[in-house]
């Protein structure tokens, strides 16, 4: 390839065409056309006749193009690029049109950035809160809201304002998702929180309207009242309005407010239970509607079953959560008990109130409708439980040691289970003394005392969970079995007052919480190991008996990328070795047996006298040997 253009003399910059004039490289210049009578042909050695000859400029390195060429260097373009103009300082040559240049080059379009799912990493607990809130709100529509007449209830679905308020509360559950997706530009966490509170405000106003109606109908035992739907509605509101992860500010500024709200609600739930029992008692003493002291044991049974049991199951956890050690163990127990109360109130409506569970509804200021028994005191228990599981309460009562936290949960659950079982057994025993002993109540009393004793025995095994975990689970399973049997007997003996939400929490819910704490949390499983260990009599994985189990092997380390090492050549001086003396080697003569050779007839040689034949074993005869003549 030519190093310069044969037409204009410009240095070659690569390609098949000249970058200055656009002519093909390596082609001979065309001869000038001579017109007869015209001007003489230009001198090829002179580029511009009017300019005196000058020395050619020194060759310079070609500047790289501002844009990468569209063809690789190994494949030059087969034609001059379009739109090319000669560089400055090189005017177009006469007789040749300007050649097109290279088109502007550009980089390919970058792919669009992948879209990130805004809900990635959303806490599972927030999904559970939304599901529980929706369940509580929709359950409100099928539960008694207030009284209309003698044993006639208005359900929540029969009050149009309650239906609208419930639907708005369900819509409020979508607010955290809108906040996470940034649907409304410019809105902060405060705007979303206010929007959620506004959507749940109608249901709170509906509850206040029910309270106002009870105050208006305070002298009518069969009108007004607050049904179990009110308790379920407050539970749903408490679950719906508490902040989710997407609504919280980075500094967690609202934790103190929500902690105070949760504590106030829990204290109000206990206070309301005491107030309702007190008003029922005073109303019975002042009026002649109910003779509280005839018989006396019936009053004691009511005190044990409707005051002491709720205080033990609800009041003691509230005391420990607000004024005590404020641990997450008592917070879990409080939440479990409160949710059990509202769920039992929902299940009590099965089979027209003749199911396995019982709850007293609607509640008036002087007891259940009719004034025969005091209220259950569970109007705010569900709301207190809902606020106990809020994110703010979880952070306020967090315990660094996971194993100690869940051990405390088992201890608290067993304490309440033993207390609830023992108090219920005492109430049933007093009732049997008053009305006469029957087989059913006596069996239930014995079973409940056994359950209380089993819970007390399990408390003594909490010192070594690793060794006694299986025994603890067996005791908890026995308590649940005893509770189910007791519920069946009480339902058959028409002693449904004892199968309320507090006793169900003591017999079923709290033992299940303790079993969960011993088996499910990752911190417990990692600290205690597998639930059932293999005994020494069996040989795991084909190992002979008596050998210890094989230690787990460490995973291999990944290969480390080491950079290649380069060592400079080392100068070695020439080595000289002195000659080594080798002693002469002597080999003993080897005896070779004589080889017999048969006589060979050799023809006589011309001009040589006959030679004697060599003796045997001396080798072949020399050249020119002839056998002697025979006589």
Predicted local confidence at residue 546, as pLDDT: 46
- pLDDT score for 557: 57
User: Which residue matches tokens 């906040």?
Assistant: 179
pLDDT, greater one: 413 or 576 = 413
Sequence-ordered list of residues with C-beta below 8 angstroms from that of 469, at least 6 positions apart, any chain = 518, 528, 531
Structure letter (DSSP) for residue 95: T
Please give the Cα distance from 247 to 230 (Å, whole number): 27
Span 457-484, pLDDT tens digits: 999 999 889 889 999 999 999 999 999 9
- What is the C-alpha to C-alpha distance for residues 525 and 519, in angstroms, rounded to an integer? 7
Q: Helical H runs in 375-464?
A: 381-388, 391-396, 402-435, 439-459
Question: Residue 479: what pLDDT?
Answer: 95
Q: What is the pLDDT of residue 529?
A: 83
> What confidence score (pLDDT) does residue 253 get?
76
Residue for token pair 């909490």: 462
Higher pLDDT, 75 or 273: 273
Q: What's the pLDDT score for residue 128?
A: 93
Rounded to whole angstroms, the Cα distance separating 363 from 353 reads 16
Cα(184)–Cα(360) distance, rounded to whole angstroms?
46
Query: What CA–CA distances, in Å, run from 60 to 16, 90, 588?
Result: 19, 15, 86
Q: Give yes or no for residue 217 having a pLDDT over 90.
A: no
* C-alpha span between 481 and 451 (Å, rounded): 9
Whether the per-residue pLDDT at 542 is higher than 50: the answer is no
Top mean-pLDDT range of 2-11, 75-84, 208-217, 579-588: 208-217
Section 157-183 average pLDDT: 90
273, 314 contact by CB (below 8 A):
yes
Which tops the pLDDT comparison, 20 or 386? 386
Least confident interval from 61-70, 108-117, 337-346: 61-70
**Range 61-71 average pLDDT:** 48
Average pLDDT over residues 163-186: 88
Whether pLDDT at 487 is above 70: yes
d(CA 13, CA 424): 103
Q: Which tokens is 577 given?
A: 């070795």
For 281-310, the DSSP string reads: HHHHHHSSS--TTSSHHHHHHHHIIIIIHH
> For residue 420, what are the contacts with CB-CB under 8 A and spacing of at least 6?
309, 312, 313, 502, 503, 505, 506, 507, 510
DSSP-assigned letter for residue 367: E
With cut-offs at 50, 70 and 90, classify the pLDDT of residue 537: very low
Q: Which residues pair with 226 in a beta bridge?
A: 363
On the question of pLDDT at 56 being above 80, the answer is no
> For residue 584, what are the contacts with CB-CB under 8 A and spacing of at least 6?
none
**What average pLDDT does range 173-201 have in this prediction?**
86
Helix (H, G, I), strand (E, B) or coil at 92: coil
pLDDT at residue 600 above 70? no
Question: H helices of 102-188, where?
Answer: 124-140, 160-171, 175-181
Q: Is 519 exposed, middle or buried (0-12, 13-18, 19+ CB in 10 A)?
A: middle
Residue matched to tokens 């305070």: 218
The highest-confidence range among 184-198, 361-375, 418-432, by mean pLDDT, is: 418-432
Q: What's the CA gap between 154 and 592, in Å, rounded?
A: 135
Torsion of CA 518, 519, 522, 524, to 10 degrees: 30
Q: Which token pair is 259?
A: 């902690």
Per-residue pLDDT band for 71 (boundaries 50, 70, 90) equals very low
Is the separation of the CB atoms in 377 and 361 below 8 Å? no
Average pLDDT over residues 410-420: 95
pLDDT single digits (tens) 113-149: 666 666 676 788 889 999 999 999 999 999 988 887 7
Query: Quick one: pLDDT at residue 363?
Result: 80
Q: What's the rounded Cα separation, in Å, for the pair 550 and 335? A: 44
Alpha-carbon gap, residue 496 to 31, rounded angstroms: 124
The C-alpha atoms of residue 89 and residue 86 are separated, in whole angstroms, by 8
Summary mean pLDDT of the chain: 77
Query: CA-to-CA distance for 295 and 434, rounded, in angstroms?
Result: 8
Q: Is 229 exposed, middle or buried (0-12, 13-18, 19+ CB in 10 A)?
A: buried
N residues, the chain: 631
Q: Which residue has the higher pLDDT, 147 or 515?
A: 515
CA angle 61, 64, 67 (to 5 degrees): 165
pLDDT category at 47 given cuts 50, 70, 90 is very low
Whole-angstrom distance, CA of residue 459 vs CA of residue 456: 5
Provide the pLDDT for residue 73: 46
Residue 456 has pLDDT above 60, yes or no: yes
Cβ distance 37 to 49 under 8 Å?
A: no
- Within 8 A by CB and 6+ apart from 337, the residues are 313, 314, 317, 381, 385, 416, 502, 505, 509, 510
For residues 136 and 130, give the distance between their C-alpha atoms in angstroms, rounded to a whole number. 10
How far is the C-alpha of 417 from the C-alpha of 502, rounded, in Å?
Answer: 10
pTM: 0.67
> Which of 470, 464, 474, 499 minimizes the C-alpha distance to 484?
499
DSSP at 74: T
Reply yes or no on whether the pLDDT at 630 is more than 60: no
Residue 244, helix vs strand vs coil: coil
What letter would DSSP give residue 152? E
- 4-42 tens-digit pLDDT: 777 777 777 777 777 777 777 766 555 555 555 555 555
pLDDT classification of 96: cutoffs 50, 70, 90: low
Whether the per-residue pLDDT at 51 is higher than 60: the answer is no
Cβ atoms 345, 195 nearer than 8 A: no
- Furthest C-alpha separation in the chain: 183
Cβ contact 523:402 at 8 Å: yes
Angle at 263 between CA 257 and CA 268, to 5 degrees: 125
Q: Regarding beta strands 152-155 and 363-364, do their DSSP bridges make them parallel or antiparallel, or are they unpaired?
A: unpaired
**Cα within 13 Å of Cα(493), Cβ side:** 23
Share of the chain above pLDDT 90, in %: 32
Instruction: Measure the N-to-C terminal CA separation of the chain; round to a whole number of Å.
Output: 100
Give me the residue spans of the domains in the chain. Answer: 1-31+73-102
At 206, which helix (H) or strand (E)? helix 189-216
Mean pLDDT lowest among 18-32, 278-292, 299-313, 406-420: 18-32
Cis amide linkage into residue 380, ω under 30° from 0: no
């Amino acid at each position: 390839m030519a190093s310069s253009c044969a037409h204009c003399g410009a240095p070659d910059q690569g390609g098949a065409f000249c970058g200055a004039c656009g002519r093909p490289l390596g082609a001979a210049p065309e001869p000038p056309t001579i017109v007869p009578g015209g001007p003489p042909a230009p001198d090829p050695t002179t580029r511009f006749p009017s300019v005196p000859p000058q020395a050619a400029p020194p060759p310079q390195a070609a500047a790289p193009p501002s844009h990468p060429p569209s063809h690789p260097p190994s494949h030059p373009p087969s034609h001059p690029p379009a739109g090319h103009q000669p560089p400055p300082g090189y005017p177009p040559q006469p007789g040749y049109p300007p050649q097109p240049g290279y088109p502007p080059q550009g980089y390919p379009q970058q792919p669009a950035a992948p879209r990130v799912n805004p809900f990635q990493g959303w806490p599972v607990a927030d999904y559970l809160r939304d599901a529980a809130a929706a369940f509580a709100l929709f359950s409100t529509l099928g539960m008694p809201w207030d009284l209309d007449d003698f044993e006639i209830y208005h359900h929540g679905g029969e009050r149009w304002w309650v239906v609208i308020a419930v639907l708005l509360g369900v819509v409020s559950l979508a607010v955290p998702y809108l906040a996470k997706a940034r649907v409304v530009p410019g809105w902060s966490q405060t705007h979303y929180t206010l929007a959620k509170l506004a959507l749940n405000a109608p249901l709170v106003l509906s509850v206040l309207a029910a309270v106002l109606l009870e105050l208006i109908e305070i002298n009518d035992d069969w009108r007004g009242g607050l049904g179990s739907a009110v308790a379920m509605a407050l539970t749903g509101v408490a679950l719906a309005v508490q902040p989710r992860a997407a609504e919280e500010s980075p500094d967690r500024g609202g934790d103190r407010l929500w902690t105070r709200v949760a504590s106030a609600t829990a204290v109000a739930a206990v206070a309301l239970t005491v107030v309702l029992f007190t008003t029922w008692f005073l109303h019975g003493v002042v009026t002649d509607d109910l003779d509280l002291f005839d018989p006396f044991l019936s009053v004691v049974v009511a005190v044990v079953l409707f005051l002491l049991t709720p205080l033990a199951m609800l009041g003691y956890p509230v005391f420990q959560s607000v004024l005590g050690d404020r641990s997450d163990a008592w917070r879990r127990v409080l939440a479990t008990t409160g949710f059990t109360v509202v769920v039992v109130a929902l299940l009590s409506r099965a089979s027209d109130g003749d199911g396995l569970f019982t709850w007293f509804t609607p509640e008036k200021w002087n007891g259940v409708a009719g004034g025969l028994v005091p209220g259950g005191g569970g109007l705010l228990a569900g709301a207190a439980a809902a606020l106990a599981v809020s994110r703010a309460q979880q952070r306020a009562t967090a315990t660094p040691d996971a194993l100690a936290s869940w051990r405390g949960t088992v201890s608290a659950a067993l304490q309440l289970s033993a207390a609830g079982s023992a108090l219920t057994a005492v109430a049933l025993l007093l009732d049997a003394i008053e009305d006469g002993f029957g087989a059913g109540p006596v069996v239930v009393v014995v079973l409940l005392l056994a359950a209380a004793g089993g819970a007390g025995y399990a408390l003594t095994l909490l010192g070594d969970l690793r060794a006694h975990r299986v025994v603890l689970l067996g005791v908890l399973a026995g308590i649940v079995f005893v509770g189910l049997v007791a519920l069946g007997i009480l339902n058959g003996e028409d002693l449904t007052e004892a199968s309320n939400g507090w006793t169900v929490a003591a017999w079923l819910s709290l033992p299940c919480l303790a079993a969960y704490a011993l088996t499910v949390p990752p911190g417990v499983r990692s600290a205690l190991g597998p639930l059932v260990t293999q005994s020494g009599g069996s040989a795991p994985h084909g190992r002979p008996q008596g050998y210890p189990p094989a230690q787990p092997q460490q995973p291999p380390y990944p290969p480390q990328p080491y950079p290649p090492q380069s060592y400079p050549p080392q100068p070695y001086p020439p080595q000289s070795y002195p000659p080594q003396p080798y002693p002469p080697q002597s080999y003993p003569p080897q005896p070779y047996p004589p080889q017999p050779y048969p006589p060979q007839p050799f023809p006589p040689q011309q001009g040589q006298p006959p030679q004697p034949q060599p003796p045997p074993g001396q080798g072949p005869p020399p050249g020119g040997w002839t056998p002697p003549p025979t006589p």
